[in-house]
Amino acid sequence: MVPPGHHKKDGSPYTWWVGKANEKHYYWGGSGPGIQKCACGIERNCTDPKYYCNCDADYKQWRKDAGFLSYKDHLPVNQVVVGDTNRPGSEAKLSVGPLRCQGDRNYWNAASFPNPSSYLHFSTFQGETSADISFYFKTLIPQGVFLENLGNTDFIKLELKSATEVSFSFDVGNGPVEIVVRSPTPLNDDQWHRVTAERNVKQASLQVDRLPQQIRKAPTEGHTRLELYSQLFVGGAGGQQGFLGCIRSLRMNGVTLDLEERAKVTSGFKSGCSGHCTSYGANCENGGKCIEKYHGYSCDCSNTAYDGTFCNKDVGAFFEEGMWLRYNFQASGISGKESGSRSESSPDPQGPLPDLAHEEIRFSFSTSKAPCILLYVSSLTTDFLAVLVKPTGNLQIRYNLGGTREPYNIDVDHRNVANGQPHSVNITRHEKTILLKLDHYPSVSYHLPSSSDTLFNSPKSLFLGKVIGKNLGQIAHVLYSKAASSPFKQIVVGDWGIQVNDS
């Protein structure tokens, strides 16, 4: 793939491609997600060492950037957007090769379950004294039956009992036995999870991903043979809670069940993992995420500055130069908001808030101004949190929780965010660990210095666009720069949620 005019002089991209889930990507063939380089930038052999793509050298001779895009979760390439097309005497050629798949066919043998009553049936599972079952699943629903096989009283079943629980249950004549694995994080996150269940005359076990294996010893006396007579049902059957999502690589006692072929001959099914979002995901605009539903899809706009069915309704607040908003915190929640266009002081909120060992802040914004303040959380002490755009256009997060001489700074230098494009920010802190996610890039973990306190003491106010009065903290050098011309949407700090709009 040969990207034309890959970067502006300030580092922001002229050109990007759109993959699965309608997400923009700024890396190219031979590179990887979040790196924003071409293959020569990875191998450090670009024509001009100042750039990360040969095309950026802007030489008169033709240069080439090429390589494979191999991160499967982002493929296929659905669209390429090319900018910087109005330069006289400048030419570029871009080509996208065919999508090629290779590897173990059984590993990717999959079927999508489109509605609550959908199921695939196979011949009776022969696992009288030994059962070894494994598969991968991904879903957005909190519960559903993966598979079940019945006898007169005997049975074997695997199901998603809740968003964080997978259950393996069976009865060989001694009464029902259930083994449950509980995950500390949701399993209905539309990511692949592996389930392995085993049962023999001595014991039974269940494992999900790399979580600790749960084991149950078999009784020393009693029945040992699993006697089944019905067909094996994959997915919900008999009026049970159906499974919505995708299952692949289902192996039972060493045999891979051909889910794809069975799906092709079963009404209402699709082989592979192509759901509604594969066909209609591009309808979710402005970075909205397509969510599979039983009878269709919806657009999740929570991490964008937009709302509406397709995330195309602007619900943010626009900040002109000098404008600001201040939300005052109280123990019962947000006490109200104040705004202004000039620096002025306002009455402080009444009553301190509980100290925070954990907070999550997420918002979307767009701005062409640098430097500027996007967000600032003040306190009744010297503690503060600031999200800034530096003079270079890069994002910076500053934490000051006490115990250190200077605030702890996180500099995100690989991306210019003052480019007028929408950006999403998610900051999660638990004591000294900070997790930062910017746009589609992978989350990055940071750690406060060992001497830093772990509590954000007495949170007081949330400022957007600018900080006023005596709440300056240690960011005075950018206080009176232009505010962010930004649509802000849902902001969450600790247990307080704020909906920002122009009203």
pLDDT per residue over 461-491, tens digit each? 888 877 766 545 555 444 434 444 454 555 5
The share of the chain scoring above pLDDT 90, in percent, equals 32
**Per-residue pLDDT at 370 exceeds 70:** yes
| Assigned token pair, 268 | 């209402």
User: Domain residue spans in the chain?
Assistant: 1-102, 110-271, 276-314, 324-498
The SS3 assignment for 478 reads helix
4, 82 contact by CB (below 8 A): yes
Report the largest interatomic distance among the alpha carbons of the chain, rounded to a whole angstrom: 86
Is the pLDDT higher at 474 or at 133?
133
- Look up the CATH number of domain 276-314: 2.10.25.10
Q: For residue 105, what pLDDT is reported? A: 72
Beta partners for residue 395, in sequence order: 389, 412
Give the integer Cα–Cα distance in Å for 386 and 427. 11
Q: For residue 73, what pLDDT is reported? A: 72
150, 233 contact by CB (below 8 A): no
Q: For residue 475, what pLDDT is reported? A: 57
Q: For residue 186, what pLDDT is reported? A: 93
Q: For residue 8, what pLDDT is reported? A: 55
| Domain 110-271 shares a fold with domain 276-314 | no
110-271 CATH, one of 2.60.40.10, 1.10.260.40, 2.60.120.200, 3.40.50.2300 = 2.60.120.200
**Per-residue pLDDT at 144 exceeds 70:** yes
Give the integer Cα–Cα distance in Å for 458 and 470. 16
What's the pLDDT tens digit per position in 306-341?
A: 788 888 887 767 777 777 888 887 655 544 555 554
- Look up the CATH number of domain 324-498: 2.60.120.200
Write out the H or E segment, with its range, that includes residue 90. Answer: none
Give the integer Cα–Cα distance in Å for 22 and 328. 37
What's the pLDDT tens digit per position in 437-446?
A: 888 778 889 9
Give the integer Cα–Cα distance in Å for 194 and 135. 6
What's the pLDDT tens digit per position in 273-318?
A: 766 776 677 788 877 788 876 567 888 887 666 788 888 887 767 7
DSSP codes joined into one string, 108-174:
T-EEEE-STT-EEEESPP--SS-EEEEEEEEESSS-EEEEEEE-SS-EEEEEEEETTEEEEEEESSS
